[in-house]
Amino acid sequence: MNWHELGQTDLVKTANTSIEHGLSSKEAKKRLDLHGYNELNEGKKTSSLALFFSQFNDFMVFVLVAATIISGFLGEYVDAAAIIAIILVNGILGFFQERRAENSLQALKELSTPQTLVLREKKWMKIQARELVPGDIIKFSSGDRIGADIRLFDAKSLEIEESALTGESVPVQKQYDPIQANAESLGDLVNMGFMGTLVTRGSGSGVVIGTGMNTAMGKIAHMLEEAGTQQTPLQGRLEQLGKILIVIALLLTVLVVSVGVLQGQNLFQMFLAGVSLAVAAIPEGLPAIVTVALSLGVQRMIKQKSIVRKLPAVETLGCASIICSDKTGTMTQNKMTVTHVWTCGSLWEVTGTGYEPEGEFTANGRPVQVKQNKALQQILLFGALCNSSAIVSEKGKYRLEGDPTEGALLTAASKAGFYSEKIKEQYKIIEEYPFDSARKMMTVIVEDLQNKRFVITKGAPDVLLKKSTCILANNKNEAMSKTRYEEANTSIADLASRALRTIAIAYKPLTGSEIPSVEQAESGLTFFGIQGMMDPPRPEVKQAIKECREAGIKTVMITGDHVITAKAIAKKLNLLPNKGKVIEGQALNKLSVEELAETVEDTYVFARVTPEHKLKIVKAFQEKGHIVAMTGDGVNDAPAIKQADIGISMGITGTDVAKESSSLILVDDNFATIKSAIKEGRNIYENIRKFVRYLLASNVGEILVMLFAMLLALPLPLVPIQILWVNLVTDGLPAMALGMDQPESDVMNRKPRHTKEGIFARGLGWKVVSRGFLIGAVTLAAFMIIYYRNPDNLQYAQTIAFATLVLAQLIHVFDCRSERSIFHRNPFGNLYLIGAVLSSLLLMLVVIYYKPLQPVFHTMDIAAVDWLLVIGLSAIPTFLLAGSLLTRKN
């Protein structure tokens, strides 16, 4: 089909749609059933069966199975069957853990898929791009990714970067008239847009003509590389650690077995015990638990309105020492209302809130008639004409579609009776140069009913003032004199110091029919005046900034707004200390990254910046060794977002490009959400430390009790099946529960963690070794006391050792919840943990007292008095170490 050759009427007919109404939802549903979802087929997931078998694909498990089978042939049926059963249960648990981790990662991926503005049932709405169908009418603007293959029917300064398809990185200028071209040569199809390509400039609308695999992208989909799931640095380090631990565990096992054999133990018994010990001591479950802890944390973050796009960010979040945040919309509400209008010689005030067209104009407290003030009329009218947003009223409610800054201008105009649908009947927009934060201006070229053409520009007042050669005063065009310039400049500062965001409006008549370029249009202007709009801070931000400060994190405001406005808001938020510096974008131009780095520590506000400045700011902070979180929403923010250690994009106002370069998306665009994310990031890391501490100390304890026994020429204190049981039940469940622990009350009172900090830093290594040693020691003590009391009843002594080991670990798990000591936290704070510990206890009692299981687990009923011994001994490590911590001053 040669879509590019069709005129608009044919296009609409062929696609069977309507440019005014879009598709009906019924029709869209029908086409969705017919064409399927608009997505590219992905590579296959690992099948469940393969994942299940991969659980057993481990050398030590093979050895254990082999050893068990041999022991089965030697007549130890019960032992063999029990060991096999435990291996199976272990495998099933591992399988579910990994599936869960995989599924939650997949869910995350889906959360951050792009959305598209589509016309359905005569209404513009946002839907997931995967729901697009052929015939849908979509619109887009700079920063969006095109959701499907389309034929354009409207384009304003539209440029699309199609390198993903054509390899050509220079954006293509698009138009919408029919053309003659070779349909195979995508680069020549300038009136079409393709799925996955990027709008770098302007805006446009089109009819969807191909979706899913039936797009240019679909045809080359098999060539696209799937980005692999990323490992976090910690996961990488733990994997390394795991390898080292395997070697250590194996060496120790060999040691235990050799010593045992030398002491005259039965060779095969010793071998089986050794292999069980190795299986138990090797923390093979660690990576899976880490993934689960990470993804559970990530799910908690989603509830708190932040979506993690790149898993490593979870860890880096905990290290953040600087947050560079946008002001508009992130620290403020982005609900703008024009409250002041200035034209040469007069200042008007406007009442009313929201987007309702209700409000009055006053001057010096007295109501004024807009009709009698030509200048006021003009500036309001032009503010609504040079505007790409719309206010729609639905059932008496007014809703903004577009940019809040522009919405405020539309509302102010409507309060004077200028409604944009009505004025657009009298003025035709011939060309539009969209707003961008580097120029800080937007321009339209307009034709009135008398066919007279003129330019309207709106933008940052200080910028516009410099582009103006005339000024409107007393309803006349005056050449811009020095006094007039100063007058305007003073008013800009005056409005800004009231924390108002300011927009100026300027005008220029055109002669001739030629359409000027942006640069031509935006020069030699006549300055009309300024509208000042209020954008109140979000109420929760002040507190969030304070909490960040207490957590050793500095908040820096970055804004394209006027320096005085920025300062006024920063003061309101308590962000700018008395000696804090404010730097303007212009000054940044002159500084190199190194020079900026020298002053950056005392700087709290960057005003009138362009997106390129943001990159410099990130680099300067990084130069000083900071871990920087940087927010952004526009296309041009992408480099800074990428450069930052934690790139953050806005869920509501963010462009697809910004989202794709970011590692974190703020669903609600709210600064306070960054704080919650950092808190969660710190907590996740601490939780990982908690269960690493627990698991490793347990393993050390298990190995040492065996080693000590062999060295002392004692019989085996634990039989293989008991060791495997401990590994499965006592180690597994509570470790998972630790991964879901709540943060300690002081997580946000500590300094940020150093990125290079190893997992065993801050005394964790010592805690693991000392506690492991003590657990081993008390278990052995319990065993020896009972064994020497009655050497004929080895099985009873082993039961006591088993119970002591389990109990000592289950007490230890509560210690692990705090970096300080067990007494710092309410032990009932983590209900998962209580549940895990109770189930472990219950299962322990079952294998000890349930008669049919006693032969399987080599256990016997424990007498009540001996429980006193078990409980007393297993509590010793906690009290010993807690005591030594209490005496140490912190």
The per-residue b/e assignment along 848-881, b for 16 or more CB within 10 angstroms, e otherwise, is beeeeebebbbbbebeeebeebbeebbebbbeeb
Catalytic residue, candidates 149, 326, 633, 741: 326
Closer residue to Mg ion (CB): 288 or 331: 331
Amino acid at residue number 843: L
Beta carbon of residue 410, minimum distance to Mg ion (angstroms, whole number): 16
- Interaction between residue 440 and ligand ADP (CB under 6 A): yes
How remote is the C-alpha of 353 from its chain's centroid?
A: 33
Report which of 648, 641, 661, 682 is spatially closest to residue 553, judged by C-alpha positions. Answer: 682
Per-residue interface string for the shown chain with Mg ion, residues 325-364, x marking contact by CB under 5 A: ---x------------------------------------
Q: Which does 435 bind (CB under 5 to 8 A by kind): ligand ADP, Mg ion, none?
A: ligand ADP
Q: Rounded distance, CA 42 to CA 510, Å?
A: 54
The reply to whether 335 sits near ligand ADP by the rule CB under 6 A is no
Q: How far is CA 457 from the centre of its chain?
A: 37
Distance separating alpha carbons of residues 78 and 720, to the nearest angstrom: 12
Angle among Cα 771, 812, 778 to the nearest 5 degrees reads: 55
Q: How far is the CB of 479 from ligand ADP (least distance, A)?
A: 24
Strand partners, 206: 138, 152
Query: For the chain, what's the residue count?
Result: 890
Q: Under the criterion CB under 6 A, does residue 459 sit at the interface with ligand ADP?
A: yes
Does residue number 406 form part of the binding site for ligand ADP (CB under 6 A)?
Answer: yes
> Quick check: 686 binds ligand ADP (CB under 6 A)?
no
Residue 550 dihedral angles phi and psi, to the nearest 5°: -65, -25
439 is an interface residue for ligand ADP by CB under 6 A:
no
Q: Which residue is nearest to ligand ADP (CB)?
A: 560
Residue 687 in contact with residue 293, Cβ under 8 Å? yes
- Which span sits near Mg ion by CB under 5 A: 82-90, 321-329, 602-610, 673-681? 321-329
613 touches ligand ADP by CB under 6 A: no
Show the binding pattern over residues 51-90: x = contacts Mg ion (CB under 5 A), - = does not: ----------------------------------------
Q: Which of Mg ion, ligand ADP, none binds 616 (CB below 5-8 Å, type-dependent)? A: none
- The encoded tokens of residue 472 equal 């409107």
Q: Is 666 a residue that touches ligand ADP (CB under 6 A)?
A: no
Compute the least distance from the CB of residue 561 to ligand ADP, in Å: 4
Task: Please identify, using beta-carbon distances, which residue of 31 and 327 lies nearer to ligand ADP.
Answer: 327
Rounded Cα gap, residues 888 and 890, in angstroms: 6
Structure token pair of residue 848: 């000890």
Question: Which residue in 592, 519, 607, 505 sits closest to 559, CA to CA?
Answer: 607
Instruction: Compute the distance between CA of residue 188 and CA of residue 581 in angstroms, rounded to an integer.
Output: 51
Residue 141 near ligand ADP by CB under 6 A: no
Nearer Cβ to Mg ion (94/329)? 329
**Shortest reach from residue 405's CB to Mg ion, in Å:** 7
Q: Using the rule CB under 6 A, which residue among 130, 145, 458, 567 binds ligand ADP? A: 458
198 close to 206: Cβ distance less than 8 angstroms: no
By CB under 6 A, tell whether 503 contacts ligand ADP: yes
Nearer to ligand ADP, 172 or 336 (CB): 336
Taking CB under 6 A as the binding criterion, the range among 133-141, 324-332, 680-688, 733-741 that sits at the site for ligand ADP is: 324-332
Nearest approach, Cβ of residue 328 and Mg ion (Å): 5
Q: Which is nearer to Mg ion, 328 or 468 (CB)?
A: 328
Cβ burial of 117 (10 Å; 0-12, 13-18, 19+) is middle
What is the token pair recorded at 755? 């990125």
Closest CB to ligand ADP among residues 402, 765: 402
Distance of CA 432 to the CA centre of its chain: 35
326 binds ligand ADP (CB under 6 A): yes
Least Cβ distance, residue 456 to ligand ADP (angstroms): 11
Tokens 């849908």 sit on residue: 136
Listed ranges 75-83, 499-507, 513-521, 672-680: which one lies at the site for ligand ADP (CB under 6 A): 499-507
326 is a catalytic site residue: yes
| Nearer Cβ to ligand ADP (206/560) | 560
Residue 690 in contact with ligand ADP, rule: CB under 6 A: no
The yes or no reply on residue 560 touching ligand ADP (CB under 6 A) is yes
Determine which residue in the list 15, 138, 442, 525 makes contact with ligand ADP, applying CB under 6 A.
442
503 binds, among Mg ion, ligand ADP, none (CB under 5 to 8 A by kind): ligand ADP
* 714-753 positions binding ligand ADP, by CB under 6 A: none
Burial class of residue 18, CB neighbours in 10 A (0-12, 13-18, 19+): middle
Residue with tokens 């719309």: 390
Nearest of 535, 558, 537 to residue 408 by alpha carbon: 535
Structure tokens belonging to residue 699: 């393993």
The reply on whether position 336 binds ligand ADP by CB under 6 A is no
CA 47 remoteness from chain centre: 29
- If residue 119 lies in a helix (H) or strand (E), which one and from where to where? strand 115-120
d(CA 334, CA 355): 12
Contact of 349 with 339, CB cutoff 8 Å: yes
- Asked whether 277 and 256 are in contact (CB, 8 A), the reply is yes
Q: Which does 149 bind (CB under 5 to 8 A by kind): Mg ion, ligand ADP, none?
A: none
Nearer residue to ligand ADP within complex by CB, 135 or 560: 560
Q: Which of residues 587 and 834 has its CB atom nearest to ligand ADP in the complex?
A: 587
Which residues is 666 bridged to in the sheet?
306, 650
- Does residue number 460 form part of the binding site for ligand ADP (CB under 6 A)? yes
Q: Apex CA 287: angle with CA 649 and CA 43, to 5°? A: 65
Q: Among 403, 645, 656, 815, which residue interacts with ligand ADP (rule: CB under 6 A)?
A: 403
Residue of 327, 554, 567, 626 that binds ligand ADP (CB under 6 A): 327
Of 613 and 689, the one with the shorter C-beta distance to ligand ADP is 613
Residue 127: Cβ within 10 Å count: 16
> Per CB under 5 A, which region of 323-331, 334-342, 605-613, 746-754 contacts Mg ion?
323-331
Dist. CA 729–CA 725, nearest whole Å: 6
Residues 601 and 233: their CA atoms lie apart, in Å, by 28
Q: Is 546 exposed, middle or buried (0-12, 13-18, 19+ CB in 10 A)?
A: middle
Residue nearest to Mg ion (CB): 328
Q: What radius of gyration, in Å, describes the C-alpha atoms of the chain? A: 35
Answer yes or no whether residue 502 interacts with ligand ADP by CB under 6 A.
Answer: yes
**CB closer to ligand ADP, 55 vs 405:** 405
Per CB under 6 A, residues contacting ligand ADP are 326-328, 403, 405-406, 435, 437, 440-442, 458-460, 501-503, 559-562
The residues annotated with a catalytic role in the active site are: 326
Residues that bind Mg ion (CB under 5 A): 328
